[in-house]
């Protein structure tokens, strides 16, 4: 080596490794010689860098749930037609990437070029397969929350599949309105009930009855809070919100007659003739 001028220069610059297997020097080799594996910081060989594994696209699907399911919880089965990679005859180019090639043109002169480099992998084809996924609707789940299924998204033949995320969309309820963990509803009572009091049961989301009783005057728009009758808190199901009931008063559709006024319909409607239209029934 010492008798060959070119080899001696190469040995002095790059050491014994520079002489093996027809090794061609490069900027990456220079920095690697002095700084070890930190050559990538200065444009070293990309093969020494961490490669990002390609990944398929994520899929977001709106999952409609009822307010009853939010209250009690449920398990929902979803059928998913998913493309799955299966082996096929032949070979294909894979893991294609851009790599920098450095060529020495002479002492102290280098040329850097970018090339597309691919590996050779077994050929694959995408085949649709039907899968059943079970989504647990937890009590108190909030609108817009997502349930992820790792690896159930779009496939990537050269990498990992994406994820599938079910986004909760709570449907509008005909009786109750959700606001956080509280439930709101409107109840219509008659004019007599508004003046004399009333007693009633309201059917809740899971079927149990909420008893409501008043023995005083109820003004239109009055609200009644029933603590613990709202939705369960998502983070702690032992805590529940409130049920807020707003009362609407239904007034008689026609003007009262003189007999109805003089007969005291509003004082004791059930005992007077002609007071049927004012009674709670």
**Is 131 within a domain?**
yes
**Is 133 within a domain?**
yes
Distance CA 204, CA 194 (A): 23
Retrieve residue 76's tokens: 């929902």
Average pLDDT over residues 246-256: 85
Same domain, 150 and 232: no
**Is 158 within a domain?**
yes
pTM reported for the whole predicted model: 0.61
Confidence band (pLDDT; 50, 70, 90) for 45?
Answer: very low
Q: Among the listed ranges 71-75, 108-112, 201-205, which one has the minimum average pLDDT value?
A: 108-112
Same domain, 76 and 130: yes
**Is 215 within a domain?**
yes
- Return the pLDDT at 253: 77
Same domain, 112 and 198: no
CA distances to 83, 251, 252, 263, 277 from 255, in Å: 70, 10, 7, 15, 11
User: Which residues on neighbouring strands pair with residue 213, listed in sequence order?
Assistant: 199
Same domain, 123 and 197: no
Same domain, 129 and 112: yes
Same domain, 80 and 152: yes
Q: Are 235 and 141 in contact (CB under 8 A)?
A: no
| Domain around 200 | 176-262
Total domains present in the chain: 2
Same domain, 110 and 206: no
Q: Specify the higher pLDDT residue, 186 or 81.
A: 186
* pLDDT tens string 4-17: 766 666 666 666 66
């Amino acid at each position: 080596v010492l008798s060959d001028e070119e080899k001696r220069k190469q040995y002095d610059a790059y050491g014994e490794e520079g002489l093996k297997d027809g090794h061609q020097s490069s900027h990456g080799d220079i920095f690697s010689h002095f700084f070890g594996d930190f050559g990538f910081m200065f444009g070293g060989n990309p093969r020494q860098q961490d490669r990002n594994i390609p990944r398929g696209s994520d899929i977001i699907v709106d999952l409609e749930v009822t307010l009853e399911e939010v209250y009690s919880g449920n398990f929902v089965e979803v059928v998913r037609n998913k493309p799955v990679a299966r082996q096929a005859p032949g070979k294909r180019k894979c893991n294609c990437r851009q790599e920098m090639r450095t060529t020495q043109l002479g002492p102290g002169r280098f040329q850097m070029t970018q090339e597309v480099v691919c590996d050779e992998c077994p050929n694959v084809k995408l085949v649709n397969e039907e899968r059943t996924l079970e989504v647990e609707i937890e009590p108190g789940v909030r609108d817009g929350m997502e349930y992820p299924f790792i690896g159930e998204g779009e496939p990537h033949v050269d990498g990992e599949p994406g994820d599938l995320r079910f986004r909760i969309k709570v449907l509008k309820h005909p009786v109750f309105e959700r606001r956080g963990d509280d439930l709101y509803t409107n109840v219509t009572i008659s004019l007599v009930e508004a003046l004399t009091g009333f007693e009633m049961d309201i059917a809740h989301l899971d079927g149990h009855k909420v008893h409501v009783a008043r023995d005083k005057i109820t003004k239109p728009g009055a609200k009644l809070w029933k603590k613990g009758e709202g939705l369960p808190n998502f983070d702690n199901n032992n805590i529940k919100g409130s049920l807020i009931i707003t009362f609407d008063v239904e007034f008689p559709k026609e003007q009262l007659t003189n007999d109805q006024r003089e007969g005291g319909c509003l004082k004791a409607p059930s005992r007077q003739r002609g007071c049927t239209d004012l009674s709670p029934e």
